[in-house]
């Protein structure tokens, strides 16, 4: 065994360039596969994490404009959702609703505190809105049913809004302070995090908004949490029932999809799962072709290696060496090179993804009013890295085995004549 090791070492030492090229093809293939998979995972994780806190059973309904004539009404008619729709929709779909609410949007309002001003979108909401949007409360709390019942003048603000309204020394004590909006004082009861919120707004109780902004009839949207809907067909049936129910109430064709707009997180998650699956497939295809390029490189180099050593094999056979001993030498040499450089490629690939994780593991882009995570946890499972390395080692071994087997079967006299 010692003699075999010394012989392999001597062969590698005599052919440094060939060994390096073989090893580089192996290491590069593994390295690129791991980095590609890690980068793809970073995009996918950011993609999925953005919607992770939003309730998967949430549904939002918005007013639209008809595109079909119906019951004497011409197309192009604006449909307006009303406060009555909240209770009537709940009554009609009670068996499939967990909770229902609505939003009133008075629009952009100027908020001020001690000479600091900020313009933001103000919304009157129910407690359900926190789950619908997936907001994370940083300090304090969100609006509750008591706030709705007592029509309290309380407000929940985004952390970016707090930074604009309050000086640094006052930001930590913003809860309980009063801000002004068009002469109306609102008490801050909560602050929510801005990450992932493209258009952060300010939120007050639904009942308070209805009275202060004279919105006692129209609403901006209906929102609800469904129950026992866990299939695509189930959601489509639920959507059809909503359209029929609201269509009968507001006199529009239930098949006119533009009359009202329905957005469901269930449907969104299905689309997201499809997009994620396609992205994973694309990354794996690119990675596999990268790995194949490494295998081809190893194969070509091993073919050249065996061809160069054909005379050597002939001499060995002439001196009495058995074909199996020569074949074993080539195979062990191939395994040694691919294992060492495959391990190097795996370690450097893992190190690269860990480095990416450190510098960009939670890459957040600040777009002024908010922040958006675009890259998260770009790492690869160790099992995948090991499996890829083993695949290339096996491929490298086979790449050396077949040409070597053919070479050792040649008669010594023919091997000595080989060019």
Do 93 and 123 fall into the same domain?
yes
- For residues 102-118, average pLDDT: 91
**Encoded tokens for 281:** 């497939």
- For residues 16-29, average pLDDT: 78
Which pLDDT score is estimated for 30? 83
Do 6 and 154 fall into the same domain?
no
Q: Which of 235, 258, 281 is the last residue of a domain?
A: 258
Which pLDDT score is estimated for 368? 46
Do 133 and 32 fall into the same domain?
no
- For residues 212-225, average pLDDT: 90
- For residues 54-82, average pLDDT: 90
CA 275 to chain CA mean position, Å: 9
Which pLDDT score is estimated for 150? 95
Do 346 and 234 fall into the same domain?
no
Do 104 and 230 fall into the same domain?
yes
Do 401 and 365 fall into the same domain?
yes
Instruction: Fill in the DSSP letter of residue 98.
Output: E
Closest CA to 316 of 404, 378, 250: 404
Do 110 and 11 fall into the same domain?
no
Which pLDDT score is estimated for 284? 79
Do 184 and 223 fall into the same domain?
yes
Half-sphere exposure of 393 (CA within 13 A, CB side): 19
Distance between CA atoms of 386 and 42, rounded to whole angstroms? 20
Which pLDDT score is estimated for 365? 53
Higher pLDDT, 97 or 276: 97
- For residues 27-45, average pLDDT: 82
**Encoded tokens for 131:** 């789950």
Domain that includes residue 412, residue range:
2-52+270-417
Do 44 and 82 fall into the same domain?
no
pTM (whole model) above 0.85: no
**Burial class of residue 233, CB neighbours in 10 A (0-12, 13-18, 19+):** exposed
> How many percent of the chain have pLDDT more than 90?
35
Do 391 and 332 fall into the same domain?
yes
Higher pLDDT, 84 or 27: 84
Structure confidence by residue, pLDDT tens digits, 155-194: 999 998 999 999 988 899 999 999 999 889 999 999 998 6
Q: Which of 195, 229, 258 is the last residue of a domain?
A: 258
> Residue 58 falls within a domain, yes or no?
no
Structure confidence by residue, pLDDT tens digits, 328-382: 777 777 778 788 888 888 889 888 888 877 776 565 555 444 455 556 777 777 7
Which pLDDT score is estimated for 415? 57
Distance between CA atoms of 20 and 263, rounded to whole angstroms? 57
Question: Which segment of 31-40, 75-84, 157-166, 403-412 scores lowest on mean pLDDT?
Answer: 403-412
Domain count, the chain: 2
**Burial class of residue 326, CB neighbours in 10 A (0-12, 13-18, 19+):** buried
Q: Quick check: 107 and 122 in contact, CB under 8 A? A: yes
Top-confidence range, 3-7, 35-39, 195-199, 237-241: 237-241
């Amino acid at each position: 065994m010692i003699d075999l090791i010394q012989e392999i070492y001597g062969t590698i030492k005599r052919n440094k360039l060939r060994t390096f090229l073989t090893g580089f093809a192996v290491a590069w293939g593994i390295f690129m596969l791991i980095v590609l998979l890690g980068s793809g995972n970073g995009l996918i994780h950011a993609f999925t994490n953005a919607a992770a806190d939003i309730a998967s059973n949430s549904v939002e309904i918005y007013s639209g404009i008809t595109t079909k004539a119906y019951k004497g009404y011409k197309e192009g008619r604006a449909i307006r959702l009303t406060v009555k729709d909240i209770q009537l929709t709940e009554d009609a779909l009670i068996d499939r609703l967990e909770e229902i609410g609505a939003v009133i949007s008075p629009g952009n309002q100027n908020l001020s505190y001690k000479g600091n001003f900020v313009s933001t979108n103000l919304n009157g909401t129910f407690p359900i809105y926190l789950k619908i949007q997936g907001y994370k409360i940083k300090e304090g709390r969100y609006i509750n049913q008591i706030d709705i019942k007592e029509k309290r003048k309380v407000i929940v603000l985004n952390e970016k809004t707090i930074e604009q309204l309050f000086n640094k020394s006052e930001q930590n004590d913003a809860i309980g302070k009063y801000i002004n909006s068009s002469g109306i004082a609102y008490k801050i009861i909560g602050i929510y995090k801005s990450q992932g919120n493209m258009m952060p707004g300010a939120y007050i109780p639904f009942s308070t908004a209805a009275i202060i902004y004279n919105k006692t009839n129209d609403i901006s949207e209906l929102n609800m949490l469904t129950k026992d809907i866990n299939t695509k067909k189930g959601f489509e049936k639920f959507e059809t029932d909503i359209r029929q129910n609201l269509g009968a109430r507001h006199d529009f064709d239930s098949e006119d999809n533009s009359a009202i707009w329905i957005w469901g997180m269930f449907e969104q998650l299905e689309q997201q799962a499809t997009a994620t699956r396609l992205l994973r497939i694309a990354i794996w295809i690119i990675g596999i072709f990268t790995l194949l390029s490494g295998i081809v490189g190893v194969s070509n180099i091993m073919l050249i290696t065996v061809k160069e050593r054909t005379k050597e094999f002939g001499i060995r056979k002439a001196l009495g060496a058995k074909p199996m001993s020569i074949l074993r030498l080539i195979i062990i040499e191939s395994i040694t090179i691919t294992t060492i450089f495959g391990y190097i490629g795996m370690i450097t690939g893992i190190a690269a993804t860990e480095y990416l994780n450190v510098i960009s593991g939670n890459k957040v882009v600040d777009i002024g009013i908010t922040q958006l995570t675009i890259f998260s946890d770009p790492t690869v499972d160790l099992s995948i890295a090991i499996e890829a390395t083993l695949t290339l080692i096996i491929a490298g071994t086979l790449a050396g085995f077949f040409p070597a087997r053919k070479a050792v079967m040649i008669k010594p006299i023919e091997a000595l004549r080989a060019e």
